Amino acid sequence: MEISDQGVMSRETFRKQFLDRYAIEGERYHPGKGAVVDGVLLASDRSAVVTVPIWKWKIADGTDRFLCQSSDDGSPPAFSALSHSESDLLNQIGDRLRDPG
Amino acid sequence: MSCLACARTRDRQPEPTSSGTNKRRFSAKRDIGNQAMLRLLSGQGRFAPSLPRSSASGGEGETAGKVSPTQMEAEVPADTPGPLKPGDVKAVPHDFVGPVQPGVVRSASFHPTMSVVTPGAGTSDCGAYAYKVKWGIPATESASAGWIVQKVTKQFEATDCDGKPVTPKTMDDTANYPFWEAWEFTAGQNVWVGPAADGNPHSGDTFGGEDYGPGTKGKKVVTGEVKAIVGFTLPSGMTVRNAQPAWSLPYTRTEPPQFASTLTGATHKLTSEWNCCPKGAVTKRTTIATNP
């Protein structure tokens, strides 16, 4: 296993992104045809450990898509990030979770 | 503090399924059929359909006074009795089949088809629900491209068992409404989650609400007005946030001018009611009514 990025987030961010149910009045991404699990986001606090799959697939034009998300609508974890590249996905994850302090 | 880590797996895994470990009909009813509209415009028969009025324009009345740029560009249904406001035009839906009368234009908008994917149902005793519909593009518009745009509004009323108002959760707070969200559609009747460039096919628009717990009772109404707008351009500020409520869809709290100026859209509505009073009892489990 190769850890590509890690950091620290606030308890509030952890609760909101990984533990709480969430409302939806729209649509979330879904892994595309032929998607495979390319990695995993692991988040924890002192009492809980949460994993979110990172899916990878190719779309019709031959380019890659990376999606870090579980698929049930409304059920935690709420966290979702989509990108065209692995490096950008990691940046997005860091930007959205890392404690700004 | 909590920590996070992203790790690459060594082994490839199969395509996800609904039963995987990662926890994880109806045709659109047009407000007016093309045949009926054709008869109306050609003056044949006595059919006089009742068309909804454009929400952006009264379509009749006094013409004096200052009007906004949006009003200046508004379309009203072709059968609306005049006079119109300055700048208003009479229009038929973009997918109207047949010749268009002089003085009437073909609107940039039409109604997408709607099919129910997940019938509306309560998912908890005290207010939570799920309901999913899927948009489609009618065959007459198979060469068209644009965006399906939905205006979402909400009514919310909930109290505790003593009748005191309950503080709404973020997405039940009417101060966060209305908002507009959008799905791109491309030639070939393809509809996408947000921009087509993301390559994510549309699977369903979900209304998913949250639970209020024991000792509460109330009612929520979510209403969508949905239009497919040919040639729609996302206004600046209408962007994907990947957060509630619209998640993967471009979202804005400011009405897009092309939405305001086109014919009234199709209706998509859910009503949820519950009564978890007295506390500890479930007098009325969450009930759902939907259209479609």
Q: Do residue B245 and residue A26 have CB atoms under 8 angstroms apart?
A: yes
- Domain shared by B145 and B39, yes or no: no
Question: Does B24 fall in a domain?
Answer: no
Instruction: Report the distance separating Cα B189 and Cα B136, nearest Å.
Output: 7
Q: Where are the beta strands (DSSP E) in chain B?
A: 2-8, 75-77, 89-92, 104-106, 109-110, 113-122, 129-136, 146-160, 179-186, 190-191, 205-209, 216-230, 239-240, 250-252, 266-275, 284-291
ipTM of this complex > 0.85?
Answer: yes
Helices and strands, counts by H and E, chain B: 3, 16
Whether residue A93 has pLDDT greater than 80: yes
Closest CA to B80 of B103, B50, B105, B102: B50
- Domain shared by B120 and B221, yes or no: yes
Question: Does B4 fall in a domain?
Answer: no
Instruction: Report the distance separating Cα B5 and Cα A98, nearest Å.
Output: 11
Q: What percent of chain A has pLDDT over 90?
A: 80
Upstream peptide bond of B86 is cis (omega within 30 degrees of 0): no
- Residue A12 has, within 13 A of its CA and on its CB side, a CA count of 2
Q: Do residue B22 and residue A78 have CB atoms under 8 angstroms apart?
A: no
In this prediction, residue B103 carries a pLDDT of: 87
CB B2 within 8 A of CB A14: yes
- Domain shared by B93 and B130, yes or no: no
Question: Does A37 fall in a domain?
Answer: yes
- Domain shared by B139 and B247, yes or no: yes
Q: Do residue B7 and residue A4 have CB atoms under 8 angstroms apart?
A: yes
- Domain shared by B253 and B146, yes or no: yes
Q: Do residue B9 and residue A40 have CB atoms under 8 angstroms apart?
A: yes
Q: What is the pLDDT of residues A25-68, one digit of tens each?
A: 999 999 999 999 999 999 999 889 999 999 999 999 999 999 99
Question: Does B10 fall in a domain?
Answer: no
Interface of B with A in 253-272 (CB under 8 A): none
Q: Decide which of B48, B77, B107 is a domain's last residue.
A: B107
CB A83 within 8 A of CB A66: yes
Question: Does B6 fall in a domain?
Answer: no
Query: How many domains does chain A contain in total?
Result: 1
Q: Do residue B3 and residue A9 have CB atoms under 8 angstroms apart?
A: yes
Which of B2, B172, B176 to mutate: most A Cβ within 10 Å?
B2
Question: Does A14 fall in a domain?
Answer: no
In this prediction, residue B282 carries a pLDDT of: 97
Question: Does B176 fall in a domain?
Answer: yes
- Domain shared by B84 and B43, yes or no: yes
Domain that holds residue A35: 28-97
Closest CA to B54 of B40, B72, B75: B75
In this prediction, residue B1 carries a pLDDT of: 52
In this prediction, residue B8 carries a pLDDT of: 54
Q: Do residue B6 and residue A39 have CB atoms under 8 angstroms apart?
A: yes
| Mean pLDDT along residues A58-87 | 92
Buried b (16+ CB within 10 A) or exposed e, B260-272: bbbbbbbbbbbbb
Closest CA to B205 of B109, B290, B98: B290
DSSP assignment string, B162-184: TSPBPPPPGGG-GGG--EEEEEE
Interface of A with B in 39-78 (CB under 8 A): 39-45, 53-55, 59-61, 63, 65, 68, 70-75, 78
Interface of A with B in 80-99 (CB under 8 A): 80-82, 90, 93, 97-99
- Domain shared by B145 and B94, yes or no: no
- Domain shared by B226 and B286, yes or no: yes
Map residue A45 onto helix, strand or coil. coil
Structure tokens at B113: 């088809």
In this prediction, residue B24 carries a pLDDT of: 25
In this prediction, residue B55 carries a pLDDT of: 36
Question: Does B7 fall in a domain?
Answer: no
Q: Decide which of B49, B76, B107 is a domain's last residue.
A: B107
Question: Does B263 fall in a domain?
Answer: yes
- Domain shared by B137 and B276, yes or no: yes
Provide the pairing of β-strand B250-252 with B266-275.
unpaired
A7 lies within 8 A of chain B by CB? yes
Q: Using CB atoms, which residue from B13, B15, B247 is nearest to A28?
A: B247
Closest CA to B95 of B49, B143, B50: B143
- Domain shared by B239 and B187, yes or no: yes
- Domain shared by B154 and B186, yes or no: yes
B63 lies within 8 A of chain A by CB? no
- Domain shared by B215 and B250, yes or no: yes
Residue A28, C-beta contacts closer than 8 angstroms, at least 6 positions apart = A69, A71, A73, A80, B193, B206, B247, B248
Chain-centre distance of CA B41, in angstroms?
Answer: 29
Question: Does A4 fall in a domain?
Answer: no
Q: Do residue A3 and residue B23 have CB atoms under 8 angstroms apart?
A: no
Q: What is the pLDDT of residues B215-243, one digit of tens each?
A: 999 999 999 999 999 999 999 999 999 99
The pLDDT tens digits along chain B (292 residues) read: 555 565 554 444 433 333 333 322 223 233 334 444 444 444 332 222 333 333 333 332 332 333 344 445 689 999 888 788 888 899 999 999 888 888 899 999 999 999 999 999 999 999 999 999 999 999 999 999 999 999 999 999 999 999 999 999 999 999 999 999 999 999 999 999 999 998 999 999 999 999 999 999 999 999 999 999 999 999 999 999 999 999 999 999 999 999 999 999 999 999 999 999 999 999 999 999 999 9
Domain that holds residue B80: 29-59+67-107
Structure tokens at B11: 């082994």
Question: Does B1 fall in a domain?
Answer: no
Query: How many domains does chain B contain in total?
Result: 2
Map residue B275 onto helix, strand or coil. strand
